[in-house]
Amino acid sequence: MLKLYIGNKNYSSWSMRPWVLLKQAGIAFEEVTIRFDSFDAGSEFRQKTSNINPAGKVPVLDDEGLLVWDTLAIAEYLAERFPDKQLWPQNLPARARARSVCAEMHSGFAALRAACPMNIEADLKAAGQLIWRDKPAVRADVARLIAMWGELLAEHKGPLLFGAFGIADAFFAPVCMRLKNYAFPVAADISAYIAHLSALPGVRAWIDDALAENDFRDFEEPYRIKR
């Protein structure tokens, strides 16, 4: 059986992507959580992850001893390993577009990621108001997301980015958590997409687990000193 190594569900946006992809696609896997203690070289997290990934990060997919890390690599591997799940769109132009937006997510939106770490449990509306007021780069990242998603939803007639659930939706699931929890202003079609994606069984399961985790990590939460 496949094994997926992940970090804390409340914080680990990168872990969320392949976990949600596997869960929503109905692919059986075993989950192994490596708890965040710190990201220093001598931390328990680094020691454990370095045994499965030279980069010392999660997520990592283990397929009977074949180790695959990095979310894009994992997604591509799963698409090839389970072609019947149609994780990428079947239409060639749509598939190319889906790969493009996933790659943009993978390498871009640095301001949003830096200013707004994912925290599914916290009420971040007050922090979001200050970030929105003071950080034009975050506003630019959100504007790009709104334009991208709006175009895809209109083209493929929603309710998901390419019609049916796929890798692109899994890649943007953590972004939906950010937009919702920091309460950034978005258009009605974007709010509907966030609500629909959040209600999918695979995404809902991750959210429920994150809310039940109750593992406060102060270095992940610069905006509060306790849960």
Please state which of the ranges 85-89, 91-95, 205-209, 216-220 shows the lowest mean pLDDT: 216-220
Q: Would you say domain 2-85+213-220 falls under CATH 3.40.30.10?
A: yes
Which pLDDT belongs to residue 138?
98
**Residue-level pLDDT at 44:** 80
Q: What is the pLDDT of residues 104-143, one digit of tens each?
A: 999 999 999 999 999 999 999 999 999 999 999 999 999 9
Taking only the tens place, the pLDDT of each residue in 25-80 is 999 999 999 988 777 777 888 888 888 998 889 999 999 999 999 999 999 999 99
Q: Residue range 72-96: average pLDDT?
A: 98
d(CA 215, CA 104): 31
The sign of the torsion formed by the CA atoms of 50, 53, 55, 56 equals negative
pLDDT in tens, 134-179: 999 999 999 999 999 999 999 999 899 999 999 999 999 999 999 9
Q: Is the CB of residue 111 less than 8 Å from the CB of residue 141?
A: yes
Query: 92-208: what fold?
Result: Glutathione S-transferase Yfyf (Class Pi); Chain A, domain 2 (1.20.1050)
Question: What pLDDT score was predicted for residue 225?
Answer: 66
Can 2-85+213-220 and 92-208 be said to share one CATH topology? no
Closest CA to 85 of 192, 147, 2: 2
Tokens of 96: 């190319």
Where would I find the H helices in the chain? Answer: 13-25, 44-49, 71-81, 92-107, 110-115, 125-134, 136-156, 167-181, 188-199, 201-213
Predicted local distance difference test score (pLDDT) of residue 216: 67
Q: Of the given ranges (39-48, 184-193, 214-223), which has the lowest mean pLDDT? A: 214-223
Q: Where are the domains of the chain?
A: 2-85+213-220, 92-208
- Say what the pTM is: 0.94
pLDDT at site 5 = 98
